[in-house]
Structure 1
Amino acid sequence: MLTIRKKLVSDAQAAKVTNGKGNGKKFIVVHETDNTRSGADADAHARLQANGNSRDASWQWTVDDKEAVQSFEHTWKCWAAGTGTGNNQGIHVEICVNSDGDYAKAVRNAAELVAKIMKDEGIPIANVVQHNYFSGKHCPRNVREGKISWSQFLAKVSACQGTTQQPSPIIDTNKYRVMTGTYSTLQAAENVLDVLKHRFGWVAYIEQDGDKWRVKTGTFTGMDAAQAGANKIKTAKLAQVANVVAA
């Protein structure tokens, strides 16, 4: 079953990058992030939005090969479609295309998410459309270029209908941080900090430890999320050691 969680943008930030509330919720609009960088997964894009996206853009959901993360409730009229109708009546789903992810699995997860949204909001499959439908943009790129056809995607959505379940509630609400091992130079720590903040979209800090430096993240809710963050740091080869500590 698809893992679903929320990392909602604050109302103050949402007011800057949306047309406000009152979404007609008539369409589900499928996009791709077009961001192929390693680490540009659903968590990174959700954190980007939560921390204040520098672009005049917003979307409700980002989905990758592991999870779907919600950034805005469906009532917000996000800036994603390129037209007023698409923004004001669409629920927008971005599929990640990061090079270290499994695109085929991300597409399957997106189909499951779309089926769930259809059920929750009473939206027919005829109103599941591509970003291109509204603005003519070449998006979702991989679908439009035949990596998976649109008809195949809709077939996956149909197969998921009636099989989606509500996600289990998160039990562990404790806060944790991830702390790297030490770096011998400040520049090395700053290089890691730059990746965590600008590629992963995380809050992070540098702390001095004697004559060395280490990097510590902002907080994660739950041990599973924190451990996933630690693994992400190690997988990206940013640190050999990444420990989870209580916040």
Structure 2
Amino acid sequence: MVSIRQKLVSVTQATKVTNGKNNARKYIVVHETDNTNTGADADAHARLQINGNSRDASWHWQVDENEAVQSFEHFWACWAAGTFTGNNQGIHVEICVNRDGDFNKALQNTASLVAKIMKEENIPISKVVQHNYFSGKNCPRNIRAGKVSWATFLQMVSNANSVQPEKPIPDSKKYRIQTGTYNDRKVAESVVEVLKTRFGWIAYVEQNGNNFRVKTGTFVGITAAQNAENKIKTARLAQVTYILEA
């Protein structure tokens, strides 16, 4: 039974790297990250998506030997399949292949996740496909090379259908918002005052050489932090903001 949690990309970021909230959800598409770097696990790939992927790409889930992390709700049409149909009809799951991970365990967790999605979205196993099915790309590479056959993986999915996975748990990490710098302390202090009086937040001014920046108190979970960041930008209190782990 795979451990599941959400680390959702902000709506602002999602609109930049998807075809919008138009996913027909007819397929579950299995990928491999092809990222063998040490530490390139599910959390690392989830953070990559939250922080703004340098590539024009997105996917719903990433899975390693420990957990499955969701970056996008299934209604988002992510850019992962390499074709319009695949992007607009697929729920995309990336298996991590980092060299310090356990690929076989990641595969088992992926099978458990796929079985869960099949039940939730009413998708038959005949519509569980490889990335290769849409674009012809050699992905998922290790499965296609026979490290574990596709037939074996589908059998793992079928076997997992009788197991109830854990429910998603919220991100319990703490974050704070930091603005870019102001060259006038009074301007920074006025921003702090707004954050305190209008939003009821803890906030303070931090000096940075001859400039000043504003930092907030902590927010629990990336979603709360992203919402706070959006409030600051909507109120036009700062042009540049950063989400930092507390």
Q: Please report the TM-score for the alignment, with normalisation by the length of structure 1.
A: 0.70
1:161 maps to a residue whose letter is N
Alignment of 1:130-145 (within 5 A): 130-145=130-145
Corresponding residue for 2:202? none
Larger Rg: 2
Alignment of 1:97-112 (within 5 A): 97-112=97-112
Corresponding residue for 1:225? none
Corresponding residue for 2:174? 175
Q: Distance in 2 between matches of 1:126 and 1:134?
A: 14
Q: Distance in 2 between matches of 1:153 and 1:146?
A: 11
Q: Which ranges in structure 1 are unaligned for 5 or more consecutive residues?
A: 178-218, 223-245
Q: Which runs of at least 4 in structure 1 moved beyond 3 Å after TM superposition?
A: 219-222
Change (3 A) 1:125 1:174: closer
1:175 maps to a residue whose letter is K
Alignment of 1:193-212 (within 5 A): none
Q: Identity across aligned pairs (percent)?
A: 70
Structure 1 residues 72-123: Cα deviation after superposition (integer angstroms, max 9, x where no partner): 0000000000001100000000000000000000000000000000011000
Does residue 124 (structure 1) correspond to residue 111 (structure 2)? The answer is no
Q: Distance in 1 between matches of 2:48 and 2:119?
A: 28
1:68 maps to a residue whose letter is A
Q: Please report the TM-score for the alignment, with normalisation by the length of structure 2.
A: 0.70
Alignment of 1:45-194 (within 5 A): 45-167=45-167, 169-170=169-170, 173=172, 175=174
**How far apart are 1:169 and its partner, in Å?**
4.0
Q: Distance in 2 between matches of 1:121 and 1:84?
A: 20
1:44 maps to a residue whose letter is A
Structure 1 residues 23-54: Cα deviation after superposition (integer angstroms, max 9, x where no partner): 10000000000000000000000000000001
Secondary structure class of the residue paired with 1:4: strand
Q: Distance in 1 between matches of 2:18 and 2:168?
A: 29
Does residue 23 (structure 1) correspond to residue 19 (structure 2)? The answer is no
Q: CA RMSD in A?
A: 2.0
Change (3 A) 1:117 1:220: farther
**How far apart are 1:167 and its partner, in Å?**
1.8
Structure 1 residues 126-180: Cα deviation after superposition (integer angstroms, max 9, x where no partner): 000000000000000000000000000000000000312342645x846279xxx
Contact 1:115 1:164 (C-alpha < 8 Å) held by counterparts: no
Q: Which ranges in structure 2 are unaligned for 5 or more consecutive residues?
A: 177-217, 222-244
Q: Distance in 1 between matches of 2:220 and 2:173?
A: 6
Contact 2:4 2:169 (C-alpha < 8 Å) held by counterparts: no
